[in-house]
A and B are shown apart, each in its own frame.
Chain A
Amino acid sequence: MTSTTAPARGRPRRTLAPYAFLAPFLIPFVLFTLLPVGYALWQSLHKTARTGGTFGRTRTVFAGLEQYGRVLGEDYFGESLLRVLGFALVQIPVMLLLALVLALLLDSAVARAKKFFRLVYFVPYGIPGVVAALMWAFLYDPRLSPVVDLLRSAGVHADLTGPDAILWSIANVVTWTYTGYNMLIIYAALQAVPADITEAARMDGAGGWTIALRIKIPVIRPALVLTGVFSIIGSFQLFTEPQVFRSISTSVTSTYTPNVAAYSLASGDSYNEAAALSVVLAVVTFVLSFAFLRFTTRRQG
């Protein structure tokens, strides 16, 4: 596109160089990303059939859309999908709003000790999802939790692992883990806002809040859209936190989120159904990310 060295004067040895540089990446990329996607598609269109009764040999036969029909017909499918949808609708706005406000504060003139706060907000992202979930699991566990103790002494009997609360307990873990990361993306984008523009606005008497809303946020819109897309993908792929919480809460069933369901199906040897579920989930995720992109970019221009 733009900044390329066109090898038009073309000494022939040069034409092979880009392929040589690409190959070491492309070979594992094809093997470990594209091929699994293709394999999942293939799996989803097949089923295991047994010839000659219970003790007959198994073989894989083409099943068309049978696995998809089975997935769509199961109750867990709609339930788990609606659950992550509700999760996304609440958790993503809360997290991104918090990340945006923190980034704007860090970027504003009024904040103090910026470096310290930036470091602190980033700490949770350095903690692996499993460990974060383990930690919060202990903090929710009624037998151990100081949080539950504190609430009880305040007269609130919270059941953080009960059927009503557990989804939002999970949302809290995700918010805790990823707010700082999203804040950093937004903060980095804020550094690209030209200082002379904000300075000129300030001269014209615009307050910090006006500058943030009218100048900074429009400029960093692409970064916000990016964090939105990654958050949507993350929500629909939710797996680690619910899987860890299964050991502290009976409310997290084996089909709690689509990915937990796919894992449970695969553990039960229903690979083909698991593959069909993964494909449907990927399509839903893609459609929603794309719709979000269209929606946000149309409003922009």
Chain B
Amino acid sequence: MSLLTLTEGAHHPTTAARRRRSAGLGPAVAVTSMAAVACYMLLPVYWLFVASTKSQSDLVTTPGFLTAEWHFGDNLASLFAQQDGVYARWLLNSLLYAGAGAGLATLLAAAAGYALAKYAFRGREAVFSVVLGGVLVPATALALPLFLMFAELDATNTFWSVFLPSVVSPFGVYLSRIFAAASVPDEVMEAARVDGASEFRIFRTLALRFMAPALVTVFLFQFVVIWNNFLLPLVMLQDERLYPVTLGLFTWQSQTSRLPELQTLTIVGALVSVVPIVLAFLLLQRYWRAGLAAGAVKS
């Protein structure tokens, strides 16, 4: 029954929406139920923020949703001091894996999607079918065989063992194909050809520009996929200095029964890792919707 209590807000809107029709309370009920869900979504984040301002002893002894003595600065200092500043390294690794990985993945997906949308060539449908099949292969299913393959090459526990597999985004190709078909006008390509532009130049200067807003969506999707990928770095990496921040926090948390002081560090570390991502997300949200809308309309 714990779920029911925890997701109380979750069941609200259905009944609320039904009631709305008969009672005519429209806006009030709608906004109340939406606010209830908003509280559910924000409560853990609020707790994380409150908890990260507490000292280790206050964390256990004071009420969780209320602030106690302000220890945020101290916590931050010990976060970045722990194990010779390994946390900053994790943040940087995450940015590299996800940022550079998603950037490269977007470029590859854009070119492939463009080719699939704008050229008729032998084997096009076969290639597209296989790529679509790739969308359905979950990253978790690939991690173990990838580990064994990299182990044969003696290449596990390296930056590349996590980076290289993440530049592949079949879903990005799928989206890019839709976007290219919808946004790159054939007439413009034809005109450029008449002017003597090479196919590569047409792609680089024209197609990429038309596809640019949609490619932000592809980038964001892949960024999240890499940022969230947990199993692959977990099996590949032993060297702490190569960890992404998620794996680092996980190892800290799994040691808390022996080293309780890591609790505070895990909490502050989680907050610090989440804030920039959430901000970037919210600022770029219109690209999510634009991309998803295009995908939903055209597919």
Q: Does B254 belong to the interface (CB within 8 Å)?
A: yes
Q: Does B167 belong to the interface (CB within 8 Å)?
A: yes
Task: Tell me, in angstroms, the Cα distance from A149 to B60 when the chains sit together.
Answer: 12
CB-defined interface of B43-65 with A at 8 Å, one 1/0 digit per residue? 01101100100000001100111
The residue that A25 contacts in the complex, of B112, B235, B270, B299, with Cβ under 8 A, is B112
Could you tell me if B249 and A4 are in contact, using CB atoms closer than 8 angstroms?
Answer: no
Could you tell me if B64 and A149 are in contact, using CB atoms closer than 8 angstroms?
Answer: yes
Which of the listed residues A29, A104, A282, A285 has the most CB atoms from chain B within 10 Å of its own CB? A29
Q: Does A228 belong to the interface (CB within 8 Å)?
A: no
CB distance from B23 to the nearest CB of A (A): 12
CB distance from B90 to the nearest CB of A (A): 12
Main secondary structure of the interface of A (DSSP, over half): helix
Could you tell me if A127 and B278 are in contact, using CB atoms closer than 8 angstroms?
Answer: yes
Could you tell me if A22 and B146 are in contact, using CB atoms closer than 8 angstroms?
Answer: no
Which of the listed residues A124, A151, A169 has the most CB atoms from chain B within 10 Å of its own CB? A124
Q: Does B206 belong to the interface (CB within 8 Å)?
A: no
Could you tell me if B119 and A4 are in contact, using CB atoms closer than 8 angstroms?
Answer: yes
CB distance from A129 to the nearest CB of B (A): 5
Could you tell me if A105 and B138 are in contact, using CB atoms closer than 8 angstroms?
Answer: no
Binds A, one of B69-77, B78-86, B284-292: B284-292
The residue that A111 contacts in the complex, of B34, B44, B189, with Cβ under 8 A, is B34
Could you tell me if A120 and B60 are in contact, using CB atoms closer than 8 angstroms?
Answer: no
A: number of interface residues (CB 8 Å): 120
Residues 1-54 (chain B) with a chain A CB within 8 angstroms? 1-3, 5-7, 10, 13-14, 17-18, 20-21, 26-27, 30-31, 33-35, 37-38, 40-42, 44-45, 47-48, 51
Could you tell me if A286 and B288 are in contact, using CB atoms closer than 8 angstroms?
Answer: no
Question: Which residues of chain B are within 8 angstroms of A49 by Cβ–Cβ distance?
Answer: none
Q: Which 6 A-B pairs have the closest CB atoms?
A: A146-B64, A188-B292, A21-B115, A25-B112, A36-B145, A17-B199
A residues with CB within 8 A of B: 2-7, 13-15, 17-22, 24-26, 28-29, 31-37, 39-40, 43, 94, 97-98, 101-102, 104-106, 108, 110-113, 117-132, 134-139, 143-147, 149, 151, 156, 158-160, 165, 168-169, 171-172, 175-176, 179-180, 184-185, 187-189, 191-192, 207-209, 220, 222-223, 233-234, 237, 239-240, 243-244, 246-247, 259, 262-263, 266, 271, 274-275, 278, 281-282, 285-286, 289
B residues with CB within 8 A of A: 1-3, 5-7, 10, 13-14, 17-18, 20-21, 26-27, 30-31, 33-35, 37-38, 40-42, 44-45, 47-48, 51, 59-60, 63-65, 107-109, 111-112, 114-121, 124, 127, 130-131, 134, 136-138, 140-142, 144-149, 164-165, 167-168, 170, 173, 181-182, 186, 189-190, 199-200, 203, 224, 227-228, 230-231, 234-235, 246-247, 249-250, 253-254, 256-257, 263, 266-267, 270, 273-274, 277-278, 280-282, 285, 288-289, 292-293, 295-297, 299
